[in-house]
Every structure is written in structure tokens, then in C-alpha cells.
Chain A
Amino acid sequence: MKITRQAFLALLAAAARAFPRPRRMAMAIDLAKCWKDRGCTRCSQACHAAHNVPQIPDRRREIKWIWKDRFENAFGEESASPAVAGAPVPLLCNHCEHPACVKVCPTGATFKRASDGLVMMDEHRCIGCRYCMAACPYGSRSFNWSDPRPFLRTIDPAYPTRTKGVVEKCTFCAERLARGGQPACVEVCPPKAMVFGDAADPSSAVAQLLQTRHAFRRKPELGAGPNVFYLL
């Protein structure tokens, strides 16, 4: 049987529809904009309220999805010139291209979504072995050492809490993306320092930024391929 040129193209188009080009969701954080107000914690507040992240007084047991740490702690002593030393850098899950946490998870409770590259947590499946916490080179994961609910002042019923004994982390607001929204931190950021989108789409704002600005990532030498970029 011979396939006509027209039929071949039609087949290709059908295949493209059936297998859409995977997106690669990424975030670029413009540190100069972020540093306009170094004491600002709006991103963590918005995130933690939206996702019922508890405020645990014992710092050793805290749970955090997005938080700030000093520049040299985020990028290493060697990379911090006096100009940036001590400056607060927003840190969150990097939704890596090759996530170590996904590789080590013995149940597939944490997995990388093929459609958009989000590193997801299935809290229903997590057995609490904390192997992902040992594997993550960025300290992005938190464990519920005890029941989180007593540490929540208010609970937003639109999002579940977690139980004791499971690991959690930032999900790039998968639930908001599903409704066509942006991550809570991106939306709330007063100086609009965070830009989020599909880095695989050259016309997206985040792809444009990464094309034109100097962008760097945490611990690139480990080969994890973080999808959170910092601009300076």
C-alpha cells in the first residue's frame, strides 16, 4: 500500500495531536527586583496559606515550601561576593530535569509529570522513608514529624492538609495551573520578581528571559538540571 503525501501529513498531524509536545515549566526569579524589599515574605505567606503549610515553632522540624536563605547558603560561600553576601534568596523545589528524589523514591510517591515536568508528590502513597530528603541536594523537602493540624491557625478547605509521617514540598501550584492560573508566589510577588511559564516554548516570557538575561541555578555541577533560574 502506498501512502500519499497528503495522507502522510494528516497522519503526522494526528500524531502531533495524540502526543502533544511536552511542556517544561520553569521559573525565573529576578533577584534585583526581589531585593527591593529584603524583608518581604509575601511569597512564602501566600504559598503556605494556600497549601495549609503549618507554622511549626521548632525550627528543626519546620515545614516550608518556599522560603528565603542567605545568598551564600543558596549558592555556596565561593559564589558570594560582598555585593550579594547575606542577601536573601527565595528557595523552593527546583522541579529538576533529573530529580534525585524521584529516582530514589521506593514507591513512586514522588514522580515527574511527563506532560509538563512538574515534580509531584502523591501524599496518599508516601511511606515516610525520607530517602527523598537524603537525596535532594537543595533541601526542598519537609517531613511531617508530627500531626501538622495543631500548627495551622486557619485551614483553607480548598486544599488538603497532610498527615504525620509523610514528606511534602512545593508543587509549582499544580492545582492552580490546572485552572489556568499562575503559582501563588508568582501572583502575589509585589515587584513581580518571579516569572513562570513553559521554558520549552520559545515565545513564553520565561524562555525570553532565559534567552536574554544571565541566568544561573543552584548546584548545576550535580547534573540535576533545576528548573528554577535566578537572574542577576
Chain B
Amino acid sequence: MTVLAKAMLGGRAYRWWLTALAAAIVTGVLLWLRQWHQGLAVTGMSRDVAWGLYIGQFTFFVGVAASAVTVVLPYYLHAWRAFARVVILGELLAIASIVVSLLFVLVDMGRPDRLLNVLLHPSPSSLMFWDMLALAGYLALNVIVARAALAAEIDGAPPATWTRGLVLLSIPWAVSIHTVTAFLYAGLAGRPFWLTAAMAPRFLASAFAAGPALLILLCGAFRYDIGEEALCKLRLVMTYAMTANVFLALMEVFTAFYSGIPGHAAPYSSWTWLSGGFAAAALALALGRSRYAPAAVFASLAIDKGVVLIPAGFIPSPSGAVTPYIPTAVELGIVLAIWSVGALLVTILFRVAIAARELDAGASPQCLAS
């Protein structure tokens, strides 16, 4: 049996996990079919709040994808060997995150049957055109690089030299995907909450906090030891990035309120403050080196960027109306299903990578069979 096939097998808990993911995905597909037949009226979005949870989650996961750079850059550019065991996981997490973010765009479309119009009628003046190119390119880069790295590991050989150029290209590319995603929002004159030059830097900061946090959590979940030094460094990156993120958020608050321009202060609702409070609490945990810091950082950013940021941009509406946005059960079910697709991809990809690593280290892959 190949490493791949062996990694697919597992014990009872593992089979239950896969069953649960499959059930969530099937439910989500059925809910999406309902959305397809009845229209996006099954969601909580409205004329005033035209984007909601779907686009928020898309934004958040583009960030998680970009954060692979926090392990790729030190390892490949600075030959920082401590990340040797984790770098492939970063790349695989990026692949799963891009797939997840693209699925979120797909379910948000009113006419997904016309998806190809984006390619048939390319519109370079639209940031969405560039975002699509950036995401597709980043997905391709990571698939090629991770595949080559895995193959080399299974053969017990060093990665092919031709991959190095692609790896180096993936570093600025990672920064570009999240910058372009920030530009989607930061270039809109009519949305003061998003109209800020700090949007792209803040996106990168929150991404470089959320990504390493998730990586630490996943290594724990897989009981995969990446070494004390690597773990320590990942936590450091997470903490610094989270500090930068909270700092930039406070800059936004200052500008909005000190300038006193009504349109800039209006989007700050109780939700914005609440998620800001979560972020501050998570940062405090990280600075205090709490063991719960990665979970807190990840959760607070998934809320801040994935839930609050997008609907808040639509408040107030162009004519000053405040329309509440409350996601529906259908919407939540579809979101859960896409998360499950991501979890399934991570489960399989990580198991293969870890099995290959154990093989490489001369250990038996049997240890995975739990």
C-alpha cells in the first residue's frame, strides 16, 4: 500500500470524524440546492447589507491561506531549519484555505451558472478580476510545491531544485493575495468603514496571527510534535502579528472618532466593539503566554474578520438606514459545510504529510492508526 492509501485508514474516532464531516457536507449541499432554487432570499442578506457571512468567511480564509508565508519564508529564505517539520503543513493548510475561500465566493453568487463570465469577459478595472487571478495562481503554486515536497519526502530525497523558484515566488504572491483582497473593500469611495489605507496592512497582520494560531492548534489536534523551538517561534509570530492587528484597529478607531466625520464613526456598532474586545482579550492571553492563546486568537479573528467586518461596512446604508443583518439557519448550514470541506482536506492532507514525515524519519506509520 502506498503512503497515501495507508494514511486514509484510521481508528474508530477517525471514522466517526469523517462521517460527521460527510454528513455536514451533504447537508450543506442540500441547503445550497435550496438556495439555488429559492434564491439568496434564504439568507439574511438584504438590499442594504448586500454581503454577509459568505464574503466575510471568504476574506478570513484568504488570510489563513496567505499566512503560509509565516513558515515558508523563514524556512526557505532564511534556511531556518526549526520549521522543517511544519513548513509542508503550512503549504497544505494554504491549499485547503484557498479551496474554502473559493467555495465561499461560489455560494455567494446569485448566478453561479455564469461563473465563467469572469473569464469570458475579463475586466481589469475590477479588483475581483485580479483577486481571482491571484487566488488561482496561489492555489496552483502551493499545489505544485507541496506535491513536489511530499513526493521528495516519501522518496527520502531532498525536494527538486526547480521547486525553489516557485517557493520563492509564492512568498510575495501570498502577500499579494491578501493585499488584493483588502483592495476589494478599501477602494470603495462610498463605504467609509472600509475606505482606509490601513486595510491591507491590517489584513496581513490579522492573517499572520490567525494562520500560525490555526497551525499550532492543528499540530496539537494531530499530536504532531514540531519541536519546542518551532512551536515557540510560531507563537511569537502569532503574538507579534496580533499586536500589530490590534494596534492598527486602534488607529482606525482614533481616525474615525477624532476626525469626527459622522460616516466614519457610524459603522462602529455594539458588534464591532464586542469583536474588538475579543481581539484585545486574545492578545492579552497571547502576551501572557497562556496555552489558550492560539484558540483565542483564531476565534477572535474568525469573528472580527469573518463575521463582523463585512456587514459592518454596509452600516449605515448610503441613505443612512441601519438594517440589521442576522444570518439564517440555511446560511449557517452552508458555512458549516464549507468549513467541513476544509476540515476534510486538512485531515487527509495532514495525515499524508505526517505519514510521509514519519516514513522519512524511519518510524512506522502505524502510530497514525489511532
Interface residues of A (CB under 8 A from B): 60-63, 69, 72-74, 76-78, 91, 100, 102-109, 125-131, 133-139, 142-147, 163-167, 219, 222-224
Contact = CB atoms under 8 A, between A and B. Distances in A.
A166 B110 CA distance: 6
A139 B314 contact: no
> DSSP class of B's interface residues: helix, strand, loop or mixed?
loop
Contact of B46 (A60, A104, A125): A60
Given A107-B117, A165-B40, 18 more contacts: A60-B48, A77-B262, A105-B123, A107-B123, A126-B111, A127-B110, A127-B111, A127-B117, A130-B50, A131-B126, A134-B50, A135-B188, A137-B189, A139-B47, A139-B317, A164-B38, A165-B109, A224-B189
Contact of A69 (B45, B319, B323): B319
Contact of B109 (A74, A102, A129, A134): A129
A63 B115 CA distance: 24
Given A60-B323, A108-B123, A165-B110, A144 B190 contact: no
Residue in B45, B120, B317 whose Cβ sees the most chain A Cβ within 10 Å? B45
A125 B114 CA distance: 7
Contacts of B121: 107-109, 125
A223 B109 contact: no
Residue in B314, B317, B319 whose Cβ sees the most chain A Cβ within 10 Å? B319
Q: Which interface class (under 10, 10 to 19, 20 to 34, 35 or more) fits B?
A: 35 or more
B173 interface: no
B318 interface: yes
Nearest to A67: B319
Nearest to A136: B190
Interface stretch (B127-135, B203-211, B236-244): B127-135
> DSSP class of A's interface residues: helix, strand, loop or mixed?
loop
24 contacts: A73-B320, A91-B319, A102-B125, A103-B125, A104-B126, A104-B188, A105-B123, A106-B129, A107-B123, A125-B121, A128-B109, A129-B109, A129-B128, A135-B190, A137-B189, A137-B318, A138-B318, A144-B39, A145-B46, A146-B41, A166-B110, A219-B190, A222-B190, A224-B189
B190 to A, nearest CB: 3
A69 to B, nearest CB: 5
A99 B38 CA distance: 31
A147 B314 contact: no
A131 to B, nearest CB: 6
Contacts of A61: 41, 46-47
Contact of B110 (A128, A136, A219): A128
B91 interface: no
B274 interface: no
- Which 5 pairs of residues, A with B, have the shortest CB-CB distance? A128-B110, A137-B190, A165-B110, A60-B46, A164-B39
Contacts of B190: 100, 135-138, 219, 222
A171 B274 CA distance: 42
A81 to B, nearest CB: 17
Interface in B313-350: 313-314, 317-321, 323
A165 B110 CA distance: 4
B41 A139 contact: no
Contact of A106 (B38, B118, B262): B118
B95 to A, nearest CB: 24
B178 interface: no
A222 B118 CA distance: 28
B129 to A, nearest CB: 5
Contact of A100 (B41, B50, B189): B189
A59 B369 CA distance: 55
A106 B45 contact: no
Interface in B35-61: 38-41, 45-48, 50-51
B118 A107 contact: yes
B264 interface: no
A63 B188 CA distance: 23
Contacts of B39: 144-147, 164-165
Interface in B286-333: 313-314, 317-321, 323
Nearest to A123: B111
A125 B70 CA distance: 40
Contacts of B51: 130, 134
Contacts of A219: 190
B191 interface: yes
